[in-house]
Structure formats: structure tokens, C-alpha cells
Amino acid sequence: MLRTHGHRPYGRGSDRRHSGYKQRKQEKRADDSGSLHDRGQYSWFDRLRNEKRMIPYATMRPMLTRQIPPRELATLPVQAALKKLETDKKGLPEEERENRRVRFGSNDLPQKKGTPILVVFLKQFTSPFVFLLIGVTVVSLYLREYSDAIVIAAVLLFNATVGTFQSARASKALKALSQGIVYNARCLVEGTSRACDIREIVPGDVIQLGAGDRIPADGRWLAANNLRVDESSLTGESVSHSKTAESIAVKPNAIAADIRNAGYAGTNVVAGSGLLLVTTIGEQTEVGRIAASLTEARPEAPLIRRVRTLAHQVLIVVTIAAILLLLSSVASGGPILPNVTLILALIVSVIPEGLPIVLTVVLARGVWDMSRKNAIVRNLESVEALGGVDIIFTDKTGTLTQNELHLKQAVLADGTTVHIEDGSVPRPHTNGNAEHAARFAEILAAVADPGAGMDTRLSSIDPIDRALLELPRMLSIKSPVQYSERPFDGKRRTRAVTTTLSTKEDIAILAGSPEQILDACGGVDTETTQAMNTMTSGGLRVIAFAEAPGNNLERADGAWIYAGMVGLRDNPRLEAKDALAWCRKHNINVIMVTGDHPETAYAIAHELGMTRSRSQVVLGEELMRLEDKELSNALASLKVIARATPETKMRLIHVSRKDGSVIAMTGDGVNDAPALHAADVGIAMGKSGTDVARGAADLVLVDDNFATIVSAIQEGRSVVGNIEKVVTYLFATSSAELVLISMAMFFYLPTPLLAAQILWLNLVTDGFLDIALAMEPMHGGHTRPPRGRLISKRAWTRIALLGASMGIIGIGVYAYALNTNGDTLRYSVTLLAMSVMQWWSAWSNRSSTTSIFRLNPFGNIPLIIATGIVLFLMTVALYGGPLSSLLRIGPLPLSTWLWIVPLAAIPVVVDEFWKLAHRRTVKA
């Protein structure tokens, strides 16, 4: 039995005795089959909360317990669909909307949960470098070297804090990006139209939609007035679909586009208007399910792989060196403890403690620079990956072209031709019968949506309709009224309408692909076929038209009369040709992947300089039949893949990754999301792209322009160059410390530097200079990262040369200092010499090829400031009390500075000879 709070349950007798029983019984009889909202003034929820009276079971509204996919409602009439959702055409009451919002949640796509800040902090300690330093700290505590342990622990905490801060900033920025613009929709609430945040839409809401509106959720159409929807973001088909509110039969395996009385979140209304009954929201929509399916881990960023490889290599070198030195000490019969201290210093010297911080700074700067060039990077590692891209699989429409269709040519059945002359004011030039041209223009206007010519600001209006109306507008011809329509059918690839022309003729018009129209006309002469081929090979998108007297839309093949065809053109972007030329020069393979006709795609590609012959074009279905090895070989020469599908893109990624290539893939639709997710660099469109595509991508193009991709790659290569400069500098100074300590051990000399002093060099001196070096402007063109490695073999050669020269000078200075009295003075002189050599090395590393004397000394202001800071800190360390005690150093006379500074410049001279030899080798 049911009851309300505070009242007894009641049976048949008590129900009949209730004062409102007769009134509710009459309401129930009046509309027993209609919507439950019409059975009374209040919803069941309102009545349940009314504590002043009891509610009979028969008059209570059942609770909507689940979201219902639109395909389950497709076969039902409108009233039955409304009843299923417990609503009516006036919309839900606000209180019921709030109740359902609590029950079903907000209309948002599924979002990954953020990582807790503590977990982010602990992850900073998972690097092999950090493990080594933790081990050194433990051993230092065991040996009671407390100052070393304190300094190393401080370094670890500092690095972890900076890394956590950067991660938090990145997460905050990505969250703000994902929220984006808040869209509103027109909702009916108890018959009143009001603006609603689309995130607050619930199942059962009734939404008013018109041309240019984005559909906010999946639903069942309640009304459709000449309604056409662009579902390309979901299905990949570029042609809009007509919608109906009538019930339809649905096959069990029907795809979303086949259900003509359903609307889907993320698609756009391009013509007409309608009322949509919301049935599913958020992750229950078609878009939401695709977004939720992207659970597979993204491929590891190339930068992460390279850093991990480098860390493992350093770990192996350090372990081997430490074991050999320890065995050498044992074999010599000397004391073990001093050598353990030396080995700890050796380990600390090799580890580039500042590398994680400086990589973050370099990548963050790249993100900032790219954002100013209309490229939004969604994760830091993608910046470096962009610099290493080998293959770009790019869309055609909107990326290589302007995404603006224009009517360029019309060829009528009688041979009359109309050419549209380019210019600031396009003008038609007719060759033949002008009256026939005007009549054909009226046919175009009858087929096109009249609303396409009213508001050119609505980007969701079908671009084909815009183009078809260009000729009627130039000839001042008004659009005739469409009386009936057979919507575009993906299988027939045609659309039919009926209208009355200005000559009072009642005719039916058939429009669609040339092949289908020519078949409907029973075949035409070869001249028409040749004209079609000429248009297609010229890069025009061809649409053909046929007519028949009367109002019958369904006619057998041969019953239609051929009227003519038009060629539409989406002009290439002017800047795309230069961008493609840059890619060819820098050995980046660009392949067009499009759903267009192969001849149209080839014409555009040829105009942009991508192709040399027709043999470089292949159909997607032909490509899918190739074995992996055959496809891999074919990709070396292919430039255009036409009639491609999302499955084609996934296959291309799978095969290309086997070769070790770094892959960039563009896309804008929901169905492109898996490919964007799987690529090394997924690139989504900012203007035309869907939220799901942008969420799956690494890079979002604000202007949908291929040239912006190239700008991002150039910036990525600039970042690669700066990473190589910084890593070269860090490992050159670390190897110098390694040479210094190893030579001291080889000659049985005391420890030249303590672990705390080495950390001072690596964190304080290097820490400021390497970050400033990361701000260096690009020199000598765009550097491509070496495949599989963080830095090139040439850079390793330079590191060895610089490290050896600095280490030899360092051991020489140390040997000289051994003749002085006291460890403090010996440490001070050696530490100063190593510090000054690092300063000189930073300036020499501004370019790996250009002489330091040819670079503008004021070209890197941050480096000037950083040099001043480290000079000041070194002075404070030598002449300040607490810091001097911690580092075990003391003041030095001015005379010592005067001979150390020029002596420390010798490695720069060595580097200059290396650069000169490299330049001559390159020229040869």
C-alpha cells in the first residue's frame, strides 16, 4: 500500500471517502490514454509532497526510471512517445525537471576523474634519477654526512613541488578548455519557451530548434517543418538528412542516420525547424557512448619514451662506474669509507637533477607560443612530438580548402553553359540560351533551402544550399515554394521536390549524384558524360538535376528528363601550398584522407602541389584490402586516399606505427575520435570540430587551417632544438664533474667536490642557466629530433668533448689547490673553477653550429639575467657565513678570480673549433 508522510495507508473505503476522489476519477476518465501531465494541475511528485490529503494509486504518475534511446521510440506515434517519457508537448514543470536532473545527472559528456594532488606529488618520485638520489641520501645519512643528505633531500622536495605545481596548472588549464563556451537551448517549460543551459536539459524536455542550432541531446522529433540536419560529425556523410515526426519502421541493425525521426547530440540543424523530445542525455547519447569508449590508454608520448631511455642508460653507466671504482678501491687495499663518499659524489655528478624542471619550462613555453598561432596544445609532451612528426594524415575540406562551396559552372541539357567569373563581385557569363539558363536557375532555387540565403552567419547552414542559390541570386530569381519533398537518401543518393515555376508549370525535380541522375533519365549522350568528367577532373563537386511534369516524386528510371548539372568548388587555402612545400623540404610525408570523389580530391591535391600523377590516388576500400606490408610500402608514394572512412584512418595509424613513424592525424567528427586518440598527435578542428573530437585530440586548431599545423610543427622543432641545447649543456657539465671525480680517484687524490657542492652546481648554477638557455631564439633552421633518442649522436660527441675539456681543467685547478693549506680553500677554488666553466658553457651552447662571436650578445636577455644571478649567488656562497658552512667553502682573494675566469674559457675555444669543423663537414 502507498501512503504519504504522516498519514495512514488507505484501502478502497478510505479512498472513496476522500473528498477529492470524484474529481480525480473524472480527470482520469477524461484522458486515460494521454500524457500523465494532462490528468491534473499537478504532477505526481507535487501530489506526493502534499501532506494534507491522501493520493490514490490510480492517479499517481509512475516515475521515469531510465533513459530511453530514440530508436525505441521510432516506431511509436508522437503521443505514445510523450507518454513513454511522462511528458507532453508543453514540456515538463520546473519542479519535475529538477527532480529528473537529480535522478539522471547533468547533460555532460563523461569526464575522467582528476588525479588527487597527493598522488601527483608522489609520482614526482618515480623517476630512475630520483631513485638514485634517494639511495644517495640514505647512504649519506648512514655515513653521517648530514649536510649532503639535507641538500639532496631539499633538491628532491623542490623538484617534486615544482612538478606538482606545473601539473596542477596544466590540469586547471585543460579543465577550463574542456568547459569551453556554455551553449543554451530553447526549452518549453509548461508551455513557456525559455533559454536553458544545455547541461541542465533532462529526459522529457521539449526543445525548440531551428536552422543554425546545435542539437543538445538525443531525442525523438515531435514536429518537423522542412527539417534537415547535418549529421556528418556523427556519421561522416557530408550530405544533410531530412527529418520527420512520423513513426517509422526500424531494422534491428539500423545505424543512427537511418532513424529519420531521431535527433542526435552534437549534430546541427541546417534547414527548417522542429520540436525535439529529449530521450537520452550525457553519456547515454550516441556521442557520449563513443566518448566513453575511448578508454584505451593513449600511446606513450615520444618524449616520455626518450627520457626514460636516457634515464636507463645513465643508470647503467652509473652502476657500472660505481662497481668498478669500488672494486678498484678494494683491490688497492685502501680505506673503503672515503671511496664510498667519492662514489656518492660520482653518482650525484652524473644525474641531471634540473632536467625535469627545464623540460617542463621548455614545453610550457612552446605551448604558450603555439597558442598565439591559433594552436591550442592539450598536453605538454605533444609539443615535442609535433617536432618529430613523420607523417601527417590530413582532411581536405576546411583544412586544405576554405570550406566554402561556390558555384563555378552550370551545363544545361541543351548545351547552354554558365560560367561564374571570379572577382570581388562574381558575375555569370552565359553561352547559349539565356531563358533556359534563367529557368535552370529557378530549378536550383527550388531545390535549395531558401533560408540558406537569408543569414550567411549561420555556419551550420548546408554549404551546398548556399552555393546553389548563388546563380539565382545573381539573376535576381526568387525561390519558388516547395510543396512536397522526398529527402536525400544515402542509398539512392538523390533528393526530390515538387514546386510551381514562375511559368505556372507544376514540376517534380530530382537532384543528386550525376551517376544516379543519369540512370534515372535512362542514360544520356556522351557529351553530357564528358562534361561531367571535365568538371570532376577540374576539382569541382558535381550535382546533376532532372525534372518531370506533375507532382509525382516517385518515378521509374527513364521517366525523368535530364535538366543539367552544376560544378561547385571549395577553393584551396592560399597558405596551404607554401605549408605543404615546407613539409616536403623537411621530409614530412603529407597524405590527404578524404571522403570526396577521387577525381575531385586529386584535382585539389594537384593544384596544391601534393601529387605528380593520378597513380598517387587510391580509394579507401582498395587500401583496406592490402596486407600490412603492402600498405606500408604503398604509403611511401601515395598522396590521396579518397572515399575514406574512420576505419581507414585507424588502419593507417596501425600500419604506420609499425615502421616507428610519429603520426599526426586530423579529424573533426565524433567518428574521428578513435583515430585522434590513437595517433601520436591527434589534431582536431576548433571551428568545425565536435567536443568529442577536441577531447580526444592533443592539438586543437582554432582556425582549422593546415598552415597552422605546420606552424605548430615548426614551433615543436624549435622546442626540440632548445631541448637538445639544454640537455647538451646539462650532460656536458655533469660529464665534466664525472671526469673530475674519476681522475681524482684514479690518481688516489682526496675528494675534489662533496655531494652537496655538486648539487649546488647542478641545481643552483645549472638551474638558472639551463632555464634561461631554454628561452634562446631559434638558430639555424628547424631541428628534427633523432628517432628513438632525446639527443643526436653528434650532440653526444660534443658532450664528450666539452665534458673532457672542462674535467681536465678542473682536475688541473684541483691539483694546484692541493698545494694550499686546508680543505676549505681547496674546495672553494675547485668549486669556483667548475662554476665559471659552466657559465661559459651556457653561453657557448646558445647554438650548436653558430660561433659564439657571431651571436647577438643581447639576443637572450634571460641568459644575461641568469648569469648575473648565479654570479651573485656564488659570491654569497663564498663570502656568506651560513651558506659557506653548509657547502664547506670560504672567501677567495680577487687575484684567484682573475686567473680562474680566463682559464675557464678554454672549453669555449675547444667548442669553437668543433663548430667550425662541423660547418665545413656540412658544406662538403
* Residue-wise pLDDT tens digits, 234-283: 765 556 778 889 998 888 777 777 788 999 988 888 777 899 999 999 88
Is residue 56 over pLDDT 60?
no
Range list of H helices, 20-145: 21-30, 44-49, 78-84, 94-104, 117-123, 128-142
The confidence band for 167, taking pLDDT boundaries of 50, 70 and 90, is low
Cell 538535376 sits on residue: 545
Residue pair 19/53 in contact (Cβ under 8 Å)? The answer is yes
The 8-class DSSP code of residue 477 comes to P
The three cell numbers of residue 735 are 660529464
The 8-class DSSP code of residue 115 comes to P
Is residue 375 over pLDDT 70?
yes
- Candidate ranges 104-113, 288-297, 546-555; pick with highest mean pLDDT: 546-555
* Between 608 and 487, the higher pLDDT residue: 608
Neighbours of 581 (CB within 10 A): 14
The three cell numbers of residue 782 are 628547424
Give the span between the Cα atoms of 837 and 742, in whole angstroms.
18
pLDDT of residue 207: 93
In a 3-state reduction of DSSP, which class is residue 90? Answer: coil
The confidence band for 894, taking pLDDT boundaries of 50, 70 and 90, is very high
Cell 544515402 sits on residue: 490
Beta-strand (E) ranges in 594-653? 617-619, 640-642
Q: In the beta sheet, which residues pair with residue 667?
A: 684
The three cell numbers of residue 548 are 518531370
Annotation says 395 is catalytic? yes
At 76, give phi and psi (nearest 5°): -95, 150
Q: Which of 88, 395, 596, 691 is catalytic?
A: 395
Could you read off the pLDDT of 309-343 as tens digits, one per residue? 777 777 787 778 777 777 776 776 666 666 676 67
Could you read off the pLDDT of 674-705 as tens digits, one per residue? 888 888 899 988 777 777 777 778 888 888 88
The confidence band for 801, taking pLDDT boundaries of 50, 70 and 90, is very high
Cell 637538445 sits on residue: 724
Is residue 137 over pLDDT 90?
no
Cell 553553359 sits on residue: 417
Give the span between the Cα atoms of 565 and 532, in whole angstroms.
8
The confidence band for 58, taking pLDDT boundaries of 50, 70 and 90, is very low
Could you read off the pLDDT of 12-36 as tens digits, one per residue? 333 433 334 434 444 444 344 333 3
Mean confidence (pLDDT) of the chain: 79
Residue 713: closest CA among 785, 646, 642, 768: 785
Is residue 899 over pLDDT 60?
yes
Residues 6+ apart with CB under 8 A from 815: 749
pLDDT of residue 349: 65
Q: How long is the chain?
A: 924
pLDDT of residue 553: 83
Give the span between the Cα atoms of 667 and 264, in whole angstroms.
19
pLDDT of residue 298: 58
Element at 709 (helix H, strand E): helix 706-746
In a 3-state reduction of DSSP, which class is residue 202? Answer: coil
HSE at residue 471, side-chain half, CA atoms within 13 A, is 31
The confidence band for 777, taking pLDDT boundaries of 50, 70 and 90, is confident
CA–centroid distance for 376 within its chain? 8
Give the span between the Cα atoms of 632 and 179, in whole angstroms.
39
pLDDT of residue 641: 92
Cell 470524484 sits on residue: 22
CA angle 139, 145, 149 (to 5 degrees): 65
Give the span between the Cα atoms of 83 and 39, in whole angstroms.
12
DSSP track, 331-378: HHT--HHHHHHHHHHHHHHHS-TTHHHHHHHHHHHHHHHHHTTTEEES
pLDDT of residue 228: 82
Residue 220: closest CA among 245, 193, 196: 245
Give the span between the Cα atoms of 87 and 276, in whole angstroms.
12
Task: Indicate the range of 155-159, 175-179, 530-534, 840-844 predicted with least confidence.
Answer: 175-179
C-alpha pair distances (Å), 746 with each of 7, 191, 732, 796: 95, 91, 21, 24
Residue 851: closest CA among 916, 798, 769: 916
Range list of H helices, 180-228: none
Is residue 468 over pLDDT 70?
yes
Task: Indicate the range of 40-49, 217-226, 653-662, 866-875 predicted with least confidence.
Answer: 40-49
Say if residue 203 is exposed, middle or buried (CB neighbours under 10 Å; 0-12, 13-18, 19+).
buried
C-alpha pair distances (Å), 575 with each of 176, 521, 704: 31, 42, 12
Is residue 96 over pLDDT 50?
yes
Percent of the chain with pLDDT over 70: 80
Say if residue 178 is exposed, middle or buried (CB neighbours under 10 Å; 0-12, 13-18, 19+).
middle
Give the span between the Cα atoms of 686 and 376, in whole angstroms.
9
Residues 6+ apart with CB under 8 A from 606: none
Task: Indicate the range of 483-487, 586-590, 805-809 predicted with least confidence.
Answer: 483-487
The three cell numbers of residue 744 are 681524482
Give the span between the Cα atoms of 561 and 874, in whole angstroms.
91
Task: Give me the sign of the Cα torsion angle 668, 670, 676, 682.
Answer: positive
Cell 550567411 sits on residue: 456
Q: How would you list the strands of the sheet with 427-431, edge to edge?
A: 427-431, 417-421, 401-412, 561-572, 541-549, 506-512, 494-500, 482-489
Is residue 128 over pLDDT 70?
no
Q: Averaged over 861-870, what is the pLDDT?
A: 94
Residue 490: closest CA among 748, 687, 260: 260
At 449, give phi and psi (nearest 5°): -75, 120
Residue 245: closest CA among 107, 89, 90: 89
pLDDT of residue 404: 81
Q: Averaged over 760-784, what is the pLDDT?
A: 76
* Between 398 and 461, the higher pLDDT residue: 398
Is residue 776 over pLDDT 90?
no
Residues 6+ apart with CB under 8 A from 362: 719, 722, 723, 726, 774
Give the span between the Cα atoms of 231 and 240, in whole angstroms.
6
Neighbours of 768 (CB within 10 A): 21
The three cell numbers of residue 853 are 662571436
Element at 747 (helix H, strand E): none
In a 3-state reduction of DSSP, which class is residue 544? Answer: strand
Give the span between the Cα atoms of 446 and 912, in whole angstroms.
75
